[in-house]
Chains A and B, each alone.
Chain A
């Protein structure tokens, strides 16, 4: 059916009073979950799922999906306010968002985050509606070799993440890769680096690591400072982004949307890469890259937009092929199956009201989230006025609860505290945490993809060059690697010419 009548069908479903209510409940819960560090949307969705058994399929997905993208909106709040990323996707927002908060610009940071997420959400849904069936094939075409090359491209972005010495960034990345190896060997299943500790069998979980590296370490470092004034600039400079902010953020938002959406389509981790990639690209294209890391609004606008666009992109393989890209998508898949509407190639034709109803409801949800989050900015900013000696124990308490809530396992708390201490040392000696996190996430995925590809090709490395997507990714990675060298080479040439002539 054509686009207009499809949208009509969708909105007629989404705007039924009950569905509007479900949408609101979903995004509200999602925002709360996103703000609380540690507890993620997957837990909430799993617990609420039985509640949705008795309501129609559309309504169930409306509420569950609402939790998911609602959490994406809320996740940046703690990243900006207190440097605690609620989940992997919010890590990058910490880098510049928190610095903006320290300079009294928490309001604009939160604001541009909300607006960027909104723009990304709406654009993502439109892209989803228009391109979904054609994009489905891309998701299928992404096999181990393509994945490997994409991860290589991702890792080269490490170069752009570090602010200080390149050597230090690479050291942290290497450490991240080793950390990622802890756990079961992805191909053979034997435990690696677990030292017999059963809790490490599944590997070190990401959430405690990032909460420790960013959140706890920040509290520890701040305890060294004598006065509150040195941590947060007490004069709050406005609550919303200024025109200047908008001017600077426009292009990052546009780039972030496209980047995030298309990366999100890649099943199994594309969306995670989106925020890191956006940050790296914004830094590369910026006229003042040295400002990144001290509170550049582009460093918030781009990644946050990419995040939300990635969420929509992740829906493509789910709705069109039934392939979940992450845990939350798997839950949505389960919910759809339990309701007797398994997603897949026939979903759009056999249940158009379901497909378009979900899309229309997501548009509604994004509006609701903007309405929810903007007024809250004023409230959040007040939190920063609380004396740090009261705020810091509260931060630690929330972190402890959050870390425990991931698996209800005390080991996660120990891991978080360990990385808190480590992060503190890293900050003191100026080692960046972002490359570590990126490598920690990408390393295992890269290893798995490499080994799977080599099994298929019987050991031949040519497989990476034979497939088009893979070749493109590898060439791009090479370009990104070589790019920083060009000015260096130019200088050397000039020097040689000057000396020779």
Chain B
């Protein structure tokens, strides 16, 4: 009897000490971290989320996993991510849609519901025509547009989509008037232009990647600060006297109020993950530009882009439905 009690006491002490060890040094991360992708599997946001997960997990004890919460063009997933507990266990994949959709849809979650963690990739925007197009360069297109209001058909990724917004702004700047034909996403829009069903299309570089490389599409102008190294002969909007810089981006957001210690650990993890050569290579192969913007830079960047897009939407008369 005495021996039994002795052993069970030792056992109890051992078991208790295990739990004590967990309580005493509670270190982040200790449980699974979900990275919400607000879209269905296969989309750009989802692929980026999965790629990020692969590269950031070594720095976060392998805790990160992707959870797809699709629906309402991302509203359901974004909302879920914004109102989650700010304990660092819910991250949300953010994409430029969060800045365009609120202009068209009532009650769509806005970017400022989130505390930005970082931007991990950027996608410069451009306007392209199909290779056999009658416009040899951007000036010819501008001349035509000015002289023939409403005759230039431009395919867009949808009403209120980002390319619709910046091309509408561009049209106003050059004094022209485009006819926008909405498609369901950048994919169909670029294909339509390549097939000649629309005369021009606006898109991020990555969205027109294969068609550009396959010489079915030809870029006419890029909306960046300086010329792209991939298209050295394509002028920027700025060079033509139209100051329009729009960048598509992908990043990660946290619910507001996340403690600084947790945020710092996450920033470091993502910084190291995105600095890896493998990651940069993968991003470039998708046509995106690898970049890392930590919170203090991401915040102002996001605000400036959002204000730009919101301003354009209001000017062209988009009303949230």
Are A201 and B182 touching (Cβ within 8 A)? Answer: no
Q: Mark B38-82, 1 if CB is under 8 A from A, else 0.
A: 001111101100110110000000000000111111011000000
Cβ distance B12 to chain A, nearest Cβ, rounded Å:
42
* B132-168 interface with A by 8 A CB criterion: 150, 153, 158-160
Closest CB-CB distance, A112 to chain B, in whole Å? 33
The answer on a CB contact under 8 Å between B75 and A456 is no
Residue of A322, A323, A344 with most partner-chain B CB within 10 A: A322
Q: Which residue of the partner chain, among A42, A198, A346, contacts B42 with CB atoms under 8 Å?
A: A42
Interface stretch (choices B114-122, B192-200, B292-300): B192-200
B97 at the interface (CB under 8 A from A): no
Question: Which residues does chain A contribute within 8 Å of B44, judged by CB atoms?
Answer: 334
Please give the distance in Å from A325's CB to the nearest CB on chain B.
10
A345 and B191 alpha carbons, distance in the complex (Å) = 13
With A202-B71, A331-B42 known to touch, is A189 a contact of B210 (CB < 8 Å)? no
- A310-355 interface (Cβ within 8 A of B): 321-324, 327-328, 330-331, 334, 337-340, 342-346
Tell me if A267 counts as interface (CB < 8 A to partner B): yes
Of A47, A202, A346, the residue contacting B41 (CB under 8 A) is A47
* B209→A337 contact, CB < 8 A: yes
Interface status of A199 (Cβ within 8 A of chain B): yes
Q: Which 8 A-B pairs have the closest CB atoms?
A: A46-B41, A322-B210, A345-B214, A143-B197, A344-B210, A190-B321, A344-B214, A340-B285
Say if the beta carbon of A234 comes within 8 Å of chain B: no
Cβ 8 A contact of B187, one of A144, A330, A342, A458? A330
Q: Which residues of A contact B53 (CB under 8 A)?
A: 50
Q: Which of A45, A143, A189 contacts B158 (CB 8 A)?
A: A189
Interface flag for A55 (CB, 8 Å)? no
Q: From residue A360, how far is it (CB to closest CB) to chain B in Å?
A: 23
B183 touches A452 (CB 8 A): yes
Chain A residues with Cβ under 8 A from B213's Cβ? 342, 344, 346
Write the residues of chain A forming the contact surface with B, with a CB cutoff of 8 angstroms: 42-43, 45-47, 49-50, 53, 140-144, 184, 186-191, 198-199, 201-202, 267-268, 321-324, 327-328, 330-331, 334, 337-340, 342-346, 407-409, 448, 452, 455-456, 458
A295 → chain B closest CB, angstroms? 37
User: Is the CB–CB distance between A188 and B210 below 8 Å?
Assistant: no
Q: How far is the CA of A42 from the CA of B39 in the complex (A)?
A: 13
Q: A43-B41, A342-B213, A343-B210 are in contact. Are A199 and B191 (CB under 8 A)?
A: no
A251–chain B nearest beta-carbon distance, Å: 34
The answer to whether B188 has its CB under 8 Å from any CB of chain A is yes
B42 and A330 contact, CB distance less than 8 A = yes
Report the Cα distance A330→B47, complex, angstroms.
11
The answer to whether B159 touches A201 (Cβ under 8 A) is: no
Using Cβ atoms and an 8 Å threshold, which residues of chain A touch B158?
Answer: 189
Instruction: Decide if B195 touches A140 in the complex (CB within 8 Å).
Output: yes
B225 within 8 A of A: no
Min distance, Cβ A448 to any Cβ of chain B, angstroms: 7
- Once the chains are docked, how many angstroms separate the CA of A10 from the CA of B252? 41
CB nearest neighbor in A for B318: A189
CB neighbours of A199 from chain B (8 A)? 71-72
Interface centre among B104, B210, B216 (most CB of A within 10 A): B210
What residue in chain A is nearest B161 (Cβ atoms)? A189
A337 CA / B208 CA spacing, docked (Å)? 12
Nearest opposing residue in chain B for A345, CB measure: B214
CB-CB under 8 A from A328, the residues of chain B are 42
Known: A189-B104, A189-B105, A321-B210. A184 touches B76 (CB 8 A): no
Supplied contacts A190-B321, A330-B43, 9 more A-B pairs, CB within 8 Å: A42-B42, A49-B47, A143-B192, A144-B192, A189-B105, A189-B321, A342-B213, A345-B216, A458-B179
Q: Is B83 an interface residue (CB 8 A)?
A: no
Contact B71 A409 (CB under 8 A): yes
Which residues from A are CB-within-8-Å of B86? none
Contact (Cβ within 8 A) B41 A339: no
Q: What residues on A are CB-neighbors of B75 within 8 Å?
A: 198, 201
In the complex, are the beta carbons of A407 and B70 less than 8 A apart?
yes
The answer for the CA separation of A187 and B53 in the assembled complex, in Å, is: 35
CB-CB under 8 A from B210, the residues of chain A are 321-322, 337, 342-344
Q: B316: shortest Cβ distance to chain A, in Å?
A: 14
Q: Mark B95-126, 1 if CB is under 8 A from A, else 0.
A: 00000000011000000000000000000000
CA distance A339 to B196 in the complex (A): 29
Question: Are the C-beta atoms of B76 and A187 separated by less than 8 Å?
Answer: no
CA distance A60 to B214 in the complex (A): 22
Q: Give the residue of A42, A50, A188 whose beta carbon is less than 8 angstroms from that of B159.
A: A188
**Contact pick for A323, options B187, B209, B281, CB 8 Å:** B187
Q: Which A residues lie within 8 Å of B216 (CB)? A: 140, 321, 344-345
B290 close to chain A: CB less than 8 A: no
Q: When the two chains form their complex, are residues B187 and A324 in contact, meaning their CB atoms are under 8 A apart?
A: yes
B191 touches A323 (CB 8 A): yes
- Asked if A201 and B211 sit within 8 Å, CB to CB, the answer is no
- B197 and A456 contact, CB distance less than 8 A: yes
The answer on a CB contact under 8 Å between B41 and A144 is no
A321 to B50, CA, bound (A): 25
For B79, the closest partner residue in chain A by CB is A198
Q: Which of A49, A188, A190, A448 contacts B50 (CB 8 A)?
A: A49
